Structure 1
Amino acid sequence: MPANDGGTAQDGDEALRLLSLVERTLTARLEEALRGRGSSLDQWRILRLLAARGGCPMNVVAEHVLLLAPKLSKLVDRMVSANLVLRRRDVSDRRRVLIVVSARGRRALADWDEATADVRAQFRELLGADADQFEGLLRRLQDGLDPASVEQASLT
């Protein structure tokens, strides 16, 4: 049996605990900032995705915001009713429906980005020059834990 090298397994557990704690803290702060502007974290993430990529099919949106299809459908229905997003037929595949951000959605996104700016700035400020490296490490972790996500991302 190998000698204990100072608790490496416990250190790994602590890293996982800290990662969860940071995610919860940042999520809570973002949700609080968005709630004050009448949004949810999921709505903000959907609009950011659509603004960055243009129209996306529901499965891509679901994967991005980490929601199951039924919950996402209800949320998108509410966003359509609020004129934040629109459903459009895909010109390259008429059977497929894309979700696109509306003009009102772009204005809402600008407002919600402003509401979350302090949280995002604090995150980058705390990490400083390590912010890009940290994002790279998180991507490497995600890719290693779910290799299918790399294949899926390259298809979209």
Structure 2
Amino acid sequence: MRIPAGTSDLATIDAVPANAGGSTGDGEESLRLLSLVERTLTARLEEALRGVGSSLDQWRILRLLAERGGAPMNVVADHVLLLAPKLSKLVDRMVSANLVLRRRDVEDRRRVLIVVSARGRRALAEWDEVTADVRGQFRDLLGADAEQFEALLRRLQDGLDPAAVEALEQPAG
């Protein structure tokens, strides 16, 4: 440790936080950094989407529905991390804007699926385009480690809440 000029050894040691080395050993710094990265990426994505009249939640909903071919509300809620009342209002607005449609599930007539409309697919293409720079920066920063990072995040999520991950990964049916 380098001691600043004019400072005693004890004063320097007392002034240095216990975790000055970067990690407390219990993952506290990792959790803080993970939160900081999530907030930064979220803010950048929201800014890009706001410029084209969208929100991060709308983009995430359309992205999920396009990938899955549709999904029930509970799966959408889990994916976009919204409570049912807020999601219902957002989906109602998206239905009114003709971005998504509600369809009865052919396998379970009691269940309603949310699917992307043709207009929603066009909007999603535009929204993907405006978020491409942010997503590209993320991939560029991680480089060859991007896949490993995603695998580690999935492993962490699986360990924290395996039921939620299973629900998200079930094919639309």
Superposition TM-score, scaled by structure 2 size? 0.83
Aligned-residue sequence identity (percent) comes to: 85
Runs (4+) off by over 6 Å: none
Residue-by-residue CA offset, 1:57-103 (whole Å, 9 max, x unaligned): 00010000000000000000000000000001111111111000000
- Matched residue, 2:6: none
Cα distance between partner residues in 2 of 1:154 and 1:110: 23
Residues 141 and 47 of structure 1, relative CA distance in 2, 3 Å threshold: same
Residue-by-residue CA offset, 1:109-150 (whole Å, 9 max, x unaligned): 000000000000000000000000000000001011112224
Aligned residues: 152
**RMSD across aligned C-alpha pairs, in angstroms?**
1.7
Superposition TM-score, scaled by structure 1 size? 0.92
Q: Which amino acid aligns with 1:99?
A: I
- Matched residue, 1:118: 133
SS at match of 2:101: strand
- Matched residue, 2:34: 19
Residue pair 2:22, 2:29 contacting (<8 A) in 1 also: no
Cα distance between partner residues in 2 of 1:123 and 1:138: 14
The match for 1:78 among 73, 93, 106 is 93
- Matched residue, 2:24: 9
- Matched residue, 1:89: 104
Of stretches 56-65 and 8-17 in structure 1, the one that deviates more from structure 2 is: 8-17
Unaligned runs of 5+ in 1: none
- Give the greater-gyration-radius structure (CA): 2
Cα distance between partner residues in 2 of 1:150 and 1:24: 22
Q: CA deviation at 1:12?
A: 1.7
Unaligned runs of 5+ in 2: 1-17
SS at match of 1:9: coil
Residues 97 and 129 of structure 1, relative CA distance in 2, 3 Å threshold: same
Higher helix share: 1
